[in-house]
């Protein structure tokens, strides 16, 4: 293979990356790897309990200390993403300290199992605040800077739980809504930023964390982190992709658009749709 065909060694020297929810699990793995590759990392974590309550600054501080002991550069941010203005303050903190932002990884999320009847308006608003509103407000704050800078990478977070009924479980209505909303945000941003060197993609991770309580060595967060590091790097020239990552296995997720079934130029009847429904679903091969 020619040298030109070999991928360049991915580094983040001189770059600044924000990682939300970086005090534990996947976010901590992302922050550590970006720092190991030379990035100055803003380690954001409000230090909340799994239900979103409380606040413990030591959660973010511990990751910052680990990075600095390893020779990296990091600073902690403790903003609660449920609060109005929190996202703008995270971005302003990064700019005040370092003058630039090259990558934004929005990993922070909240998982509360609740059926439709159990999902109160208050719970719904909390889930939306972190999973949807925060993603939007972070992008809203960081994209103008990236435009002025002429460069940027944004990595949002989705979930297979939100994309396929067979992969979902009862009690994840609000969670699924927030995760799929980030795919829509990714698509809209990617379209709007086409022609710039700002790339927007999403990660759909599976790892053993306090959210997915499976103590499986093959599902270590560190095995997902390389995909995020790639998406956050200048080596990624793609926008609008969803990367599925689990246990060192990676794939691109996409909606399947099947071949259209022509029912004539007139107005089709509901009965005709019913008759051809198995074929539309792909259960019957085309003639």
In this structure, what DSSP letter does residue 130 have?
I
- Please report the sign of the dihedral spanned by the C-alpha atoms of residue 66, residue 71, residue 74, residue 76: positive
**Is 76 within 8 Å of 27 (Cβ atoms)?**
no
Is 175 labeled as catalytic in the residue annotation? yes
- Please report the sign of the dihedral spanned by the C-alpha atoms of residue 187, residue 155, residue 177, residue 135: negative
Give the closest residue to 41 by CA, choosing from 134, 103, 89: 103
Burial label, 260 (beta-carbon count in 10 A; 0-12, 13-18, 19+): exposed
Distance CA 253, CA 229 (A): 18
Residue among 30, 78, 151, 175 flagged as catalytic: 175
Which residues does the annotation mark as catalytic?
A: 175
């Amino acid at each position: 293979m020619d040298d030109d065909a070999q991928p360049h060694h991915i580094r983040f020297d001189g770059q600044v990356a924000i990682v939300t929810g970086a005090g534990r699990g996947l976010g901590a793995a992302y922050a550590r790897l970006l720092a190991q590759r030379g990035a100055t990392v803003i380690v954001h974590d409000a230090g909340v309990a799994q239900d979103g309550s409380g606040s413990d600054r030591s959660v973010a501080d511990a990751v910052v200390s680990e990075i600095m002991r390893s020779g990296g550069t990091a600073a902690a941010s403790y903003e609660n993403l449920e609060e109005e203005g929190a996202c703008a303050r995270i971005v302003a903190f990064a700019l005040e300290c370092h003058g630039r932002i090259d990558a934004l990884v929005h990993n922070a999320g909240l998982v509360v199992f609740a059926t439709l009847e159990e999902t109160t308006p208050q719970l719904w608003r909390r889930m939306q605040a972190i999973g949807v509103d925060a993603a939007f407000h972070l992008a809203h704050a960081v994209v103008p800077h990236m435009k002025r800078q002429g460069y940027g990478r944004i990595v949002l977070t989705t979930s297979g739980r939100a994309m396929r009924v067979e992969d979902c479980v009862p009690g994840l209505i609000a969670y699924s809504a927030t995760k799929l909303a980030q795919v829509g945000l990714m698509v809209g941003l990617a379209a709007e930023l086409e022609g710039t060197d700002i790339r927007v993609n999403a990660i759909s991770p599976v790892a053993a964390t306090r959210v997915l309580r499976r103590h499986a060595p093959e599902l270590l967060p560190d095995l997902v982190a390389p995909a995020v590091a790639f998406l956050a790097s200048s080596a990624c020239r793609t926008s609008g992709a969803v990367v599925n990552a689990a246990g060192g296995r990676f794939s691109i997720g996409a909606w399947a658009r099947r071949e259209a079934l022509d029912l004539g130029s007139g107005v089709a009847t509901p009965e005709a749709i019913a008759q051809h429904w198995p074929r539309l679903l792909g259960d019957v091969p085309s003639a």
